[in-house]
């Protein structure tokens, strides 16, 4: 999922989950608890500075579904998203995974700066939307972010205005580290 598309969902999470009740600090502590329950999130943040973590809420007729997402930017043009369904307990500050994580590697093709100042990214290219299995992720992590270890070549020049695109996409996401 594209980072820029997540901002409205994150804001909805805060409204629904009550970021002001029980409080933003309770939200932060709950997210931080994932360091003990979602190892892939910690691994991604360890390898890729600037990683963001968030919890999205989706409603269906059967149950409320929470989805944990960890989003990392990989030089020069790649975005890696790990998602997993979770149960969330804000009172006890816990996030508990349900099932296996899913990994999606996407290639940012270009960024256009619009007249109103917004940065608009387009995805595509040879590595666009590559799904990774949990075992493939473990191999990449053990090889210090070497995607060639699973047969994916991440060569490519940096996309102009990529940093502005990332900055705009992350500006409304709280920076919560799982490493400290």
pLDDT, residue 18, reads: 44
- Domain contains 178: no
- Domain contains 11: yes
* DSSP-assigned letter for residue 44: H
- Domain contains 28: yes
Q: Provide the residue range defining the domain that includes 97.
A: 3-170
The pTM of the full predicted model, rounded to 2 decimals, is 0.83
- Domain contains 153: yes
From 44, 100, 83, 80, select the one nearest 152 (Cα to Cα): 80
- Domain contains 177: no
- Domain contains 179: no
Peptide bond just before 76 cis, omega within 30 deg: yes
Q: Domain tally for the chain?
A: 1
Print pLDDT tens along the chain (180 aa).
555 554 444 444 444 444 445 588 988 999 999 999 999 999 999 999 999 999 988 766 566 679 999 999 998 899 999 999 999 998 999 999 999 999 999 999 999 999 999 999 999 876 578 999 999 999 999 999 999 999 999 877 899 999 999 999 998 888 999 998
pLDDT, residue 126, reads: 65
């Amino acid at each position: 999922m594209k980072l820029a598309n997540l901002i409205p969902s994150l804001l909805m999470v805060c409204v629904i989950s009550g970021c002001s009740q029980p409080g933003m600090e309770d939200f932060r502590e709950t997210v931080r608890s994932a360091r003990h329950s979602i190892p892939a999130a910690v691994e991604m943040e360890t390898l890729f500075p600037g990683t963001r973590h968030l919890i999205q809420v989706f409603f269906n007729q059967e149950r409320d579904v929470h989805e944990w997402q960890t989003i990392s930017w990989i030089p020069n043009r790649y975005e890696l998203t790990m998602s997993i369904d979770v149960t969330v307990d804000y009172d006890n500050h816990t996030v508990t995974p349900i099932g296996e994580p899913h990994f999606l590697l996407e290639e940012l093709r270009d960024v256009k700066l619009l007249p109103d100042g917004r940065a608009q990214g387009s995805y595509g290219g040879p590595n666009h939307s590559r799904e990774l299995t949990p075992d493939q992720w473990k191999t990449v992590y053990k090889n210090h972010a070497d995607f060639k270890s699973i047969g994916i070549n991440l060569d490519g020049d940096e996309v102009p205005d990529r940093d502005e695109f990332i900055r705009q996409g992350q500006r409304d996401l709280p920076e919560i580290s799982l490493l400290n």
